Structure 1
C-alpha cells in the first residue's frame, strides 16, 4: 500500500477501455484525407490535442533546466507515472501553455510549480513535433538556468496539482547518457526529450564537436 509519502512507482493501471469521441476531454482522433506526390488520394489516422489556446502556435513546453553547481552543471529530471505505457518515465519538467502565455513564461511557471526551482530563460528551440506520424502535438524546448545561490532555490516548495505525483532529482549533464541506460535497466521508461538530449551529448563527445 502507498505510504504517507506516495511515489510515482506506487501507481499502476487498473483497466483500459475504448474512449468514445464525445467523452474525450484532452484529445480527439482525426481521419485526414490527402493526396500523395503521385496524386493518389489516401487517408491517415491521427490524434490531436484539444487544449491548445486560441492564438498559440504551440501546445506546451519542455524545460532543459540546468542547475549551476560548483561540481558542474546538472540537469533537472523527474520521475512520473504515465498510464499509456504503465511505467514510471524519466522526464524533463514540461507542461501545457496557458492562454495568453508565451513559451518562456510557461517554462518559468511550470518549472516553479513542478520542481520549486526559480530559473531564468536563456535559449529556446525551434517548434518541435513529438511524433508527427501519430499526432500534431508540438512544443518549444526552453533552456533555463537555475542560480543555486539564490535564497528561493535553497528550500524548494513545488506547487503540484492534486493529481500530480512527481519526484524531482538532478544528474550531472556529462553522465546523462549512462544514466539513461541505467534507468532503463531498472525498468524505467526514458522520455524521448531526455533520450535525445543524452544522445546529442554523447555524439558531441564521441565526435569531439
Structure 2
C-alpha cells in the first residue's frame, strides 16, 4: 500500500438526495444594517442528536524515558484537495460518548496505540471553517506511554476505506517539519499547522 498511488479520477456535482455525509444549506440572515442576505454553506449529517459538536482532534504526545516528547501524526489522502494531508488523529463522536472517550477510541482505531487523557481540560469548541461549514470539534490532549507492553506493537483497527500512515515528529521540530512537508507537496491540516505556529511563537517571543 502506498498513498502515492491515490489520485482523483473524476469530480461531479452531487445532488442533495445522493449525499450521505454532508448537505448544502442556504441561510437567510440580517447584517448589522438590517439588510437581508443569503449565505451558502455545508453541514454534516452525522452529528448525534443532543450533541453540540461533531468530533475530536487528538494531540497525542509519545513519551519514553530518555527521549524528547514527540507528536503522533498521520498521512492520509484527502480527495477534496487531491493531496496527502499531514494530520493529527481525529474522528467523529458516537452517540452517548464523551469527547475524551471518543479520543481514546479513535486513537486506538487509527493508530493502534492505547493512550491516557492528559491532565488538561479539553479545548474550547473549535470551528474548522465557519465561513464554509458548521463542522466543529474539541481538541483532546492524550499521553502515550511507550514503555507499556500494549504500545510496543500497535495494530490499527482501520475500516475498509481508511488508509492511514502514522509517524512521529519531535515537538521541537514540528514547525520545521511542516515547512518541509509543504515543500514536498503535502497538504498541512490546519490543526497541525496551528500547533506548529503556536510552538514557534513561544520560541520567538519567549512567552513562557
Structures share fold, TM-score greater than 0.5: yes
For 1:17, which of 8, 12, 20 is the aligned residue? Answer: 12
Greater Cα offset, 119-128 or 138-147: 119-128
1:85 to 81, 84, 87: 81
> Equivalent residues in 2 for 1:1-209 (5 A)?
6-69=1-64, 70-122=66-118, 123=120, 124-209=122-207
> 2:35, 2:44 → 1: CA distance?
28
Q: Tell me if structure 2 keeps the 8 A contact 1:7–1:167.
A: no
What SS does the aligned partner of 1:57 have? coil
Please, what TM-score do these two structures have when normalized by structure 1?
A: 0.96
* In structure 2, C-alpha distance between the alignment counterparts of 1:173 and 1:200, rounded to whole Å: 11
Secondary structure of the corresponding residue to residue 23 of structure 1: coil
5+ long unaligned stretches in structure 2: none
Task: Name the CA distance, whole Å, in 2 between partners of 1:53 and 1:30.
Answer: 19
Partner Cα separation in structure 1 for residue 56 and residue 2 of structure 2? 24
Please list the CA deviations of residues 96-124 of structure 1 after superposition, one character each: whole Å capped at 9, or x if unmatched.
Answer: 00111110000000000000111011231
Instruction: Indicate the SS of the match to 1:187.
Output: coil
1:3 matched residue in structure 2: none
Q: Name the TM-score, length of structure 2 as normaliser.
A: 0.97
Query: Tell me, which stretches of 5 or more residues in structure 1 are unaligned?
Result: 1-5
Question: May I ask how many residue pairs the two structures share in their alignment?
Answer: 204
Q: Which runs of 4+ in 1 moved over 3 A?
A: none
